[in-house]
Structure 1
Amino acid sequence: MIQICRSIKPFYAITLDLDNTLYDNKPIICRAEDKLVFFLRRYHPALYNVRKSDFYFSKKMVKSLDPEIYHDVNSWRWKSLENILLKSGLSKHDAQLGADCAMEMIIYWRNQIDVSINTIQALKALSSKWPLIAITNGNSNLIMCGLRRYFSDVLRAGIHGRAKPYKDMYLLSSKYFGMSCKYILHVGDDLYSDIQGAILSGMQSCWMQRYSLSSIIVNTKLLPHLVISDLTSLAYFL
């Protein structure tokens, strides 16, 4: 399914969000967090009763102390883990070592991603016509999930600027492509970080609904140029 909401003008490059755009990220993160709790409970006796809610609370507390840390999801997770271990009575050294080990584990499971054959074929078709750059607020590893070959570059919040919807990564992708934002189409699932961020940066936008946590457009400022149900429909349309 594809729906045209605004007049679409010629474009010569595409930026793509990753989580909940190329795959359903919710079960991936849920499994990774389950593995995290399992790991922590066995890492040290003081952590035997740790729960997911403890991790969520720690993230909230860390962000309250450092409001800008959310731009770098890896730093945010690491600090949250260190905080849990310190609060459980571990020494600074042991807490940092434990946070390092926990991050290695969660990054591994966070990147165990099964991408559908339809999405892979759509990426192959799109990348044969336009250069693609991935723009993500997360930390998925395209090499680990076998998608890196389709992208000329990958921009990550924290490393390459502030998280979407800030303009940093949109403008940087424009620089990498060597063209104005108005000649770039951004595809993503989130009406706020992807669609509004792209529009305010001067790009055209395409809302991918399949795995989106947003269900309805309530603000005309968030009206995308295109709405698609999956990446295959975009590849066929273009």
Structure 2
Amino acid sequence: MRFYRPLGQISALTFDLDDTLYDNHPVILRTEQESLAFVQNYHPALKEMQNKDFQRLRQALRETEPDIYHDVTEWRRRAVEQAMLNVGMSAHDAAIGAEAAMENFAKWRSRIDVPQETHDTLKALAEKWPLVAITNGNAQPELFGLGDYFEFVLRAGPDGRSKPFNDMYHLAAEKLDLPTGKILHVGDDLTTDVAGAIRCGMQACWIKPEKADLMQTQDSRLLPHIEISRLASLTTLI
């Protein structure tokens, strides 16, 4: 554990999910593959669809609706729906197909192998402080064994703009009935997690990705209060 700023009183902890509590890269890779296969098999006219086609549709949506990226689930659903409309499916059938595709996506998105260290660490921390999850993504902790550790989960889109915007940070403090300065946010991203938390008045812990060096990282606009390389290091704060 490395300290960059004086650490004040901690009355609660908030956590990013993806790549903070588990390795999200293989999860997303597999989910994208399975999601594409589902769409390709859903209708004969979609069998040649590729992920690059979805990316183009997503980009087109963002150009016409710039704020849609805050809700990654709705953004994906709309892209799938548009793909189905583009091949001649009716609006009714495309809406049903997009919902089915998102159910399939959610199933694969929640097949996450959570390290035992994460369970042990969250269990220990939850015995001392209330814990909250704040995510820009669409992972559902209750579906992969982490739900019981958190008082509540905030997701970009339904609960405000995505990090580093302060919407969800302030909402977490409001729901916890705590000043932001007594909350420690833990995350792997120096912009969305560290800078976002500090700018709204929280304390920040950076969980350092493997081989990353804060002094050599372009995203290090604001120093975290503490840096760790393993989640279990947080138990030393108890």
- The bucket for the TM-score relative to the shorter chain is over 0.9
Match of 1:166? 165
Secondary structure in 1 matching 2:112? coil
Once the two structures are TM-superposed, the CA of residue 81 in structure 1 deviates from its matched residue by: 0.6
Secondary structure in 1 matching 2:148? helix
Q: Structure 1 115/219 Cα, relative in aligned 2: closer, same or farther at 3 Å? A: closer
Quick check: 1:191–1:214 contact (8 Å CA) kept in 2?
A: no
* Structure 2 stretches lacking a partner, 5+ long: none
Secondary structure in 1 matching 2:13? strand
Distance in structure 2 (CA, Å) of the matches to 1:143 and 1:159:
17
Which moved further from structure 2: 219-228 or 20-29? 219-228
Match of 2:197? 198
Aligned-pair identity in percent equals 45
Once the two structures are TM-superposed, the CA of residue 236 in structure 1 deviates from its matched residue by: 3.0
Aligned residues: 237
Match of 1:26? 25
Secondary structure in 2 matching 1:139? coil
Distance in structure 1 (CA, Å) of the matches to 2:144 and 2:131:
17
Which moved further from structure 2: 212-221 or 58-67? 212-221
Q: Stretches of 4+ moved more than 6 A in 1? A: 211-215
Once the two structures are TM-superposed, the CA of residue 72 in structure 1 deviates from its matched residue by: 1.1
Q: Structure 1 213/39 Cα, relative in aligned 2: closer, same or farther at 3 Å? A: farther
1:175 matched to 2:174? The reply is: yes
Once the two structures are TM-superposed, the CA of residue 127 in structure 1 deviates from its matched residue by: 0.7
Quick check: 2:160–2:168 contact (8 Å CA) kept in 1?
A: yes
Q: Can you list the C-alpha shifts for 1:57-79, whole angstroms capped at 9, x where unaligned?
A: 11111111111011111111110
Once the two structures are TM-superposed, the CA of residue 33 in structure 1 deviates from its matched residue by: 0.8
Distance in structure 2 (CA, Å) of the matches to 1:173 and 1:152:
10
Quick check: 1:23–1:211 contact (8 Å CA) kept in 2?
A: no
Q: Structure 1 194/212 Cα, relative in aligned 2: closer, same or farther at 3 Å? A: farther
TM-score scaled by length of structure 1? 0.94
Q: Kindly provide the amino acid, as one letter, of the partner of residue 54 in structure 1.
A: D
Match of 1:35? 34
Distance in structure 2 (CA, Å) of the matches to 1:205 and 1:29:
26
Q: Kindly provide the amino acid, as one letter, of the partner of residue 56 in structure 1.
A: Q
1:4 matched to 2:3? The reply is: yes
1:87-236 equivalent positions in 2, closer than 5 A: 87-210=86-209, 216-218=216-218, 221-236=221-236
- CA RMSD after TM alignment: 1.7
Quick check: 1:190–1:214 contact (8 Å CA) kept in 2?
A: no
Which moved further from structure 2: 57-66 or 199-208? 57-66
Distance in structure 1 (CA, Å) of the matches to 2:18 and 2:91:
33
Q: Structure 1 212/13 Cα, relative in aligned 2: closer, same or farther at 3 Å? A: farther
Once the two structures are TM-superposed, the CA of residue 5 in structure 1 deviates from its matched residue by: 1.4
Secondary structure in 1 matching 2:78? helix
Which moved further from structure 2: 123-132 or 204-213? 204-213
Distance in structure 2 (CA, Å) of the matches to 1:58 and 1:103:
16
Distance in structure 1 (CA, Å) of the matches to 2:71 and 2:133:
16
Match of 1:67? 66
Once the two structures are TM-superposed, the CA of residue 214 in structure 1 deviates from its matched residue by: 9.1
Distance in structure 1 (CA, Å) of the matches to 2:222 and 2:23:
22
Distance in structure 1 (CA, Å) of the matches to 2:73 and 2:85:
18
Once the two structures are TM-superposed, the CA of residue 237 in structure 1 deviates from its matched residue by: 4.5
Quick check: 2:205–2:225 contact (8 Å CA) kept in 1?
A: yes
Match of 1:14? 13
Q: Can you list the C-alpha shifts for 1:160-189, whole angstroms capped at 9, x where unaligned?
A: 111111111111111111111011100011
Distance in structure 1 (CA, Å) of the matches to 2:50 and 2:219:
37
Q: Kindly provide the amino acid, as one letter, of the partner of residue 75 in structure 2.
A: W
Secondary structure in 1 matching 2:111? coil
Quick check: 1:190–1:213 contact (8 Å CA) kept in 2?
A: no
